[in-house]
Amino acid sequence: MDRKDGILRKADEFLRIFRQGEEFTRNLLSENERLRFRIAELEESRLQDLNESKIRHYEEHVRMLEDELKRLRERLSLLEAENKDLAKRFALAAVENNNLANLYVASYQLHSTLDYDEVVKIVVEIIINLIGADRFAVMLLDEKLEELVPIATEGSGTGARREDGIIAAVIREGESYFSDVPLRKASDDPESPLVCIPLKIKGHVIGVIAIYSFLAQKSRFSDIDYELFNLLAGHAATAVLSSKLYSRSENDYGTLRNFLELLKEKTR
């Protein structure tokens, strides 16, 4: 009986210990579960913090990039404006360059010879090819006769009198005349050219270029036309007069030389 009681006590003791053990194990498992959950929570929180930090970093970076983009766009639009301005300036420089080339060639040709006929031919070439005149006359003033003597004509339109009309005014005032009439219209009146340019040397008018009609394709004057008119007014006058004087001096020199030869022969 005692033995049985002892066994039962031990069994109860064992059961009690076992239940305590079970309770302890359950508590351990529960604590373990709680800790794992806490770890997961902490991990998640850490990741979240990390993500938020990254997001903040990326947002900052995006802002920086957006600012940079804005700056670049502004710079680009500035450069585009600058580029447009440069292109415009380049085009203007090209036009200016071409105009200067025209003036250089015209001036070079005018002073390339002292042969009077050649000079007159060059003046005519410039008026036709560079200005685009169709009918015109180049006239020199004969001081003794007080009239204009044509030295080159293309088409009709010469014989203007010095005393009256547009040509007379151009000679008197030494200023170029440009008619308001559209260039496509021609003038048949010798006294009323569309354009009249005085040929001047140091302000002294020695003749005129009178243009009565232009080539069909010439609809308006460009800047270079006015420059060419100015060039003709001065350079053509100098070239024509100097070649004329040179031809005359050549003739005089020839006559004088012949005369001296004759004198030499007579004195022998």
Partner 1 sequence: MPTILVVEDSPTMRQLISFAMRRIPGSRVIEATDGVDALKKLSSEKIDIILADINMPVMDGLKLVSLVRGNSAFKDIPIIIITTEGAEEDRKKAMSMGADAYLPKPIQTQELIRLVTEQLGKR
Q: Does 87 bind partner 1 (CB under 8 A)?
A: no
Task: Please report how close the Cβ of residue 238 comes to partner 1 at its closest, in angstroms.
Answer: 17
Task: Please report how close the Cβ of residue 134 comes to partner 1 at its closest, in angstroms.
Answer: 8
Cβ–Cβ under 8 Å, residues 199 and 207: yes
Quote the CA–CA distance of 103 and 260 in Å, as a whole number.
44
Quote the CA–CA distance of 118 and 132 in Å, as a whole number.
20
Other residues' Cβ atoms within 10 Å of the Cβ of residue 95: 13
- Of 104 and 253, the one with the shorter C-beta distance to partner 1 is 104
Q: Does 94 bind partner 1 (CB under 8 A)?
A: yes
Q: Which burial class, exposed, middle or buried, applies to 186 when counting CB atoms under 10 A from its CB (0-12, 13-18, 19+)?
A: middle
Question: Among 114, 128, 168, 186, which residue interacts with partner 1 (rule: CB under 8 A)?
Answer: 128
Q: Does 131 bind partner 1 (CB under 8 A)?
A: yes
Q: Which stretch binds partner 1 (CB under 8 A): 28-36, 121-129, 178-186, 191-199?
A: 121-129
Quote the CA–CA distance of 142 and 159 in Å, as a whole number.
13
Q: Is the dihedral of CA 99, 100, 101, 105 positive or negative?
A: positive
Bridge partners of 139, per DSSP, are 150, 208
Both ends of the chain: CA-CA distance in Å? 196
Contact code string over 134-163 relative to partner 1, x by CB under 8 A:
------------------------------
98: CB partners within 8 A, 6+ apart:
224
Measured in degrees and rounded to the nearest 5, phi and psi for residue 22 equal -60, -45
Site for partner 1 in 211-250 (CB under 8 A): 215-218
Q: Which stretch binds partner 1 (CB under 8 A): 47-55, 92-100, 167-175, 205-213?
A: 92-100
Q: Does 114 bind partner 1 (CB under 8 A)?
A: no
Q: Does 108 bind partner 1 (CB under 8 A)?
A: yes
Q: Does 186 bind partner 1 (CB under 8 A)?
A: no
Question: Among 62, 105, 169, 263, which residue interacts with partner 1 (rule: CB under 8 A)?
Answer: 105
Q: Does 125 bind partner 1 (CB under 8 A)?
A: yes
Bridge partners of 135, per DSSP, are 213
Total chain residues near partner 1 (CB under 8 A): 23
User: DSSP for 14-40?
Assistant: HHHHHHHHHHHHHHHHHHHHHHHHHHH
Q: Does 201 bind partner 1 (CB under 8 A)?
A: no
Task: Please report how close the Cβ of residue 213 comes to partner 1 at its closest, in angstroms.
Answer: 13
- Of 221 and 246, the one with the shorter C-beta distance to partner 1 is 221
Q: Which residues bind partner 1 (CB under 8 A)?
A: 94-95, 98, 101-102, 104-106, 108-109, 112, 122, 125-126, 128-132, 215-218
